[in-house]
Structure 1
């Protein structure tokens, strides 16, 4: 594939591959809908229901000391969910660079996106069968679904530099996140109605939870049809489409990335601070239910509040980036994240009002910090290497975010306190901010051979 020339922009309204503005707009609209499809998994499954529910199943199957024994290994029941998230990420680490390299070398992102999306959707729908003592089935389905969404996001994110011009990427990326949070809020409202009224529907509480979990998989699969209809594969120039073995592609990708040390510096910073973000997202409900003693209805309302405010937060931080640049805006959000964790550590039990205030703060920075990180990285990717480099980005976004859940799970296993687990995550935001502040992003964009936006 060809690479761009430093300092040269494409003609106005003309993206790198020559599509018209109208065609680009159509693809952007379809692209937004994959966030709309898969974000329900992240919200309803990973953030709200699965952590507390899988933990309750594991506790029911635990021995008198509170341990379960998957594969003969003693694991405290309260740590099973966090360890399963970490295991899913190890699987994703193996798959994502291989899939990303294959997508770039064949130009066939759509079939790979479809395979990853529908594998994850099927595993999520299969969570309907979690009952009794089936904690091993729950852990397995979580690993498959979480690894699948990570792989699919490699391919989804790789479309961003292909369907948008440099100056519009912050806005396009932020709209994608806003679509995702909108769908998450909508489905959470439906979940809340079903869960709180399960008696009137003739359902047990566990049945309502299993329906909420499975419906996320159905939603994910149904709305994935929209991007699959509107996004298009790009032709690979002759001689550049050969695909070797997966590990050969991975080694080639890593060798190529060494030629762009500033891009790697940003990835390192993102790896660290996003590890903290992903752990907060995945463990928040567990912290609320087990440490703060909040009921499931309170947790659903809190996450719904996050979803609603995240739409405004993603769009609002996108506007701030136009004035202050994406890097400065992200750094500001990391300060807010640190204050959120300190507040969570001090939060009293059985105090839903304070938990809602914390949820509102998370909502205001969650979407924006992630959307701007994605758009900023898109400027640092050499042209023609989108899926390969976004596989490395997704390893930072999801695939290498195994350390946070592992630290969280170990802290609880060793201390029996989720407060000790939550405060340990402050280090991820503090170190990530220091590393990001040291990245000269303008020079990084130029080194990647891309035009430098006025504000970045």
Structure 2
């Protein structure tokens, strides 16, 4: 069995966040959505921007939301199958590598993204998302295996901190090409952005070798595989759900996580496009704002870890953070100036990393710590998140399509946060004494 709290293993695990968070910043948050909006826009503020994809006509930003929803739906379907195989054969690292190479190579392929290659580029965008989120199923499942319960908040926050630092470093490198292309003799205005996509793929692939070299292969259960291997993963989820139903605090936490995840990830994925379409902010200002958001997120994740472990407990801190998210969504509906956007981004930055890190470590603490099926439990966690994101991204794009404004979509996200907050209060009501330290 893997010795827990080994500093080298934990550091290597955190480096996976360093490697793949470049995708999350450049592709989902800054340069790619800004580039996508620019090349799919008709540059006329009085008209709605449409694109044609596979013979169908879409609002450009709605197509972006739908593409992400498709990626999350695919992950929700295939991750139970793969996690079951990984738990049974103890080879989760192989699947972590498979999704990493799928995602990184797809990012490299986005170097060829122009309006003429829109359809294949959207497909590569979907594949990159599948690679990123698919690898996290197996990455997250290592947490209870490499860290003791008292260290899991700290280790989880360490991963997010490494991710923010690594992604910021690459983002700054990309900035040099985007803002100073003349230094390199670049005359095609699309090359700097497309070069950024290529660098993300290379960065992701290269730094992922650190965890691949030092993380354990997995935790084999040596169970005999029975029945159809394509159905066994869903049988595992059904078994996990059976265990979850016997732990009311875990069941209610997952319901809460489902609803507030609809909001958290959707806000992060559409923030740049919102600033571009609703506030008409320049690409430079948007990218600078998102970079600032990432920097602020580092102390935010560390602060949430401290408050939960040393002061108020995980659930109490989550209640406070979700409440702030509700306020942010309401504020987003009313903002009209770039300075209001900057202020809101600063607040979101503080709570963005914290809620993700704290959600992961809280769930990890709730699990049976000696269970050999951590991948199955985290597959359930990730399926919950991905299904939530399918609903979140689809509803965001659909509400914008029928109302003509992304602001109305943001208000819908606030309602998801409210439901998540209610279930967090329900969690506290059924907290068993054996885990009260998680609450207070």
What TM-score do you get using the length of structure 2 for normalisation?
A: 0.92
Secondary structure at the aligned position of 2:54 is classed as helix
Distance 1:230 1:18, change over 3 A: closer
Q: Distance in 2 between matches of 1:232 and 1:453?
A: 31
Q: Within the alignment, does 1:312 sit opposite 2:299 as a pair?
A: yes
Cα separation, 2, equivalents of 1:103 and 1:168: 25
Relative to structure 1, is the Cα distance of residues 441 and 211 closer, same or farther in structure 2, using a 3 angstrom cutoff? farther
Cα shift at 1:242:
6.7
Unaligned 5+ segments in structure 2 are none
**How has the CA–CA distance of structure 1 residues 201 and 238 changed in structure 2, closer, same or farther, with 3 Å as cutoff?**
closer
Report the Cα offset of residue 300 of structure 1.
1.1
8 A Cα contact 2:73 2:386, kept in partner: no
Distance change >3 Å, CA 381–CA 246, structure 1 → 2: farther
Cα distance, 1:443 vs structure 2: 4.3
**Paired residue for 1:44?**
26
Q: Count residues in correspondence.
A: 430
Residues 282-297 of structure 1 aligned to structure 2 (within 5 Å): 282-297=269-284
| Distance of aligned partners of 1:429 and 1:239 in 2 relative to their CA distance in 1, 3 Å threshold | closer
Structure 1 counterpart of 2:51, from 34, 53, 68: 68
1:6 maps to what in 2? Answer: none
Corresponding residue for residue 375 of structure 2: 387
Instruction: Select the residue among 330, 345, 350 that pairs with 1:359.
Output: 345
Q: Secondary structure at the match of 1:384?
A: coil
User: What whole-Å deviation, never above 9, does each CA across 1:203-239 have from its counterpart, x for those lacking one?
Assistant: 2331111111221111111110000011012452444
Deviation at 1:400? 3.3
Within 5 Å, give how 1:370-381 maps onto structure 2. Answer: 370-381=356-367
CA shift at 1:149, angstroms?
Answer: 1.2
Aligned to 2:193: 209
Structure 1 stretches of at least 4 aligned residues deviating more than 6 Å after TM superposition: none
Which of 95, 105, 116 is the aligned partner of 1:122?
105
Structure 2 vs 1, CA of residues 235 and 371 (structure 1 numbering), >3 Å: closer, same or farther? closer
Give the equivalent residue in structure 1 for 2:126: 143
Match of 1:32 among 14, 38, 47: 14
Residue among 318, 321, 333 paired with 1:330: 318
* Structure 2 equivalent of residue 11 of structure 1: none
RMSD: 2.2
Shift of 1:375: 0.3
Contact 2:258/2:385, CA 8 A, preserved across alignment: yes
Question: Residues 352 and 192 of structure 1: is their aligned pair in 2 closer, same or farther, counting only changes over 3 Å?
Answer: farther
Pick aligned residue for 1:221 from 194, 205, 223: 205
TM-superposed deviation, 1:357:
1.3
| 2: CA distance, partners of 1:122 / 1:38 | 12
- How many Å separate the matches in 2 of 1:266 and 1:386? 17
User: How far apart, CA to CA, are the structure 2 residues paired with 1:197 and 1:241?
Assistant: 56
In structure 1, runs of 5+ residues without a counterpart are 1-16
Which residue is equivalent to 1:106?
89
Taking the aligned partners of 1:367 and 1:301, their CA distance within structure 2 comes to: 18
TM-score by length of 1: 0.89
- Relative to total residues, which structure has the larger helix share, 1 or 2? 2
Q: In the alignment, is residue 233 of structure 1 matched against residue 217 of structure 2? A: yes
| SS of the residue 1:89 aligns to | helix
Partner Cα separation in structure 2 for residue 32 and residue 219 of structure 1: 15
